Structure 1
């Protein structure tokens, strides 16, 4: 058993080394991979101009029946697109759902940064190879296989700064669509292909379960339970490969012979850690433990004990004041992650030192928690969208974000969260939890 694991480990080390070297090789010789050459040949035969983008759009009268035909796919796939996009918070990205002909059925991400509708980033645009050259989703549809396209491997010149991946979606062995993800080259990561493939497989399983049903109420309680269970399964299944990627990255550092090789493996480990943190965050949301009656104080005291040394190093005073004697119904892991993220956000803005004061008070119908910092305050331009997805303040967060914090407090616990902030004086977040 150990011998087999050792052999597998050595093979994986070679794969991870190959990932770094593959990018270098592609930059030197973009046409080195057969899948790339084959896609270029298809593009040439279809008359695609590598220097000119020619987006194609379905007229509204034709788009409506196409969307209706794939309504079941759109509804089932949407939570997975949200999940994939959420994991790219802080990174320019586009996540799309295509039908079997390459037409965009749904789209998420920082669309405006890439040019929006003018460049075909909208529902009803076609991202098949005939119009867009080789891209993640379009090439996955042409080949029927998962595909990764790095930078210079794109046929169209304008897409060369980007990396794309695509995963086909099948129903009863018939290709019905694809997931497509695009990010700038510097953010390309092999773990995302595993993640997208797992999501596509989960979508296929859910479609299979629903075959023969009318799918008229996918937002019913039963449908949401199925979706949550599938999401939790996908997220949990991602933990093992991410742990493997990280471990192999560490071994890669030890086996590296040059500083350049070591730097590649260090970047792989850093990105794997960010993805793993997002997996942990999302797993606690989609598959929370059973709620228990607990004092928020006890959980927050544990968080402060863990974060204390980090605050000391950064010259941050972390204070807890409590006047609470009540227990509330808590999903303890979800609640802990939410409070952790609020405190971590405060620590991140106090780069030169400062003070974080946490207060817990006992009201008639609720327990009120406040987390106050004396940092620079929240910029006025993002206050109105602070709890919306993809509003980011840095690229080194855990991936949960204030959107998921709000979800944990309001949707999971039935509470409220809000904030007050003043430029130059700091920010206070308030969390209200109902008593039973």
Structure 2
């Protein structure tokens, strides 16, 4: 793009439209031009380049992990936060269908723009608009989620009725008079009922907690002394029919000095569920998943071990930052939930070890 075309485009913006034509020409001539092919990445989240960019043509996609944040087009600019804060990039940027950019370095920014109140006012206006848009989107998403949780609660009513029917069936299997012998399959039916009942209670508790959070009602976070081996057993039984775990064996190893802990049993069960399901996805047919628990100083350490293919190197930097998943039907929220429960709710630590081709172990340690 020639200088005259650049000046004509810059003239239409609040950022530099107030500059005299000779200054605009000088500025446009001094700035480096960058051409990006379709889907070519300009910078990654966390990188330290100190430059902002003005879009001359095409479009730029701003994204965090797998989530698209915005699409910017000709006449818009981005990357200014790295110059204002001198911090790593808060998101990644790539070309959409190709793009032509004008790079504004830190030196050019300080000399030409930040010293002029009109440029600062334009940047503040742009940032304010982006914040307002993000807040509106967050509010709309939160409302949709609250309505969704309310509807889920209504859907749990038939589950309660099913429990009643199963209870009646258990009574029939036990026998309707003292002389009757229990029917074959009674124990399996009882176990099925226990799993249904626990799952229903867990779902109802989670839904009520979510609705209370939406209403901004304060709730006490309860931590109680809990037997660890039975909790793991309940978790494994509840997951026995999961598609990722069929035909696979789950072994448990709870050390003799790690039989009990003080924690929120519902949330720790959620962590174990997420990790075991992930391990099941990574484990081949007839494979083995191990759940191990041991004391480690003042903490109890839980480990979920698989012998799968390991975590790809390219997604590791984003694993605990954004929703990232390799599963076709996944949403990438499981590990974020685990990390929040362990580190924020239990003051613990959550980490992993992985070797491509050899498997992955997720650990979490919480105070005893």
TM-score tier (shorter) = 0.3 to 0.5
- TM-score norm. by structure 2 comes to 0.48
Q: Which has the larger radius of gyration?
A: 2
- TM-score norm. by structure 1 comes to 0.41
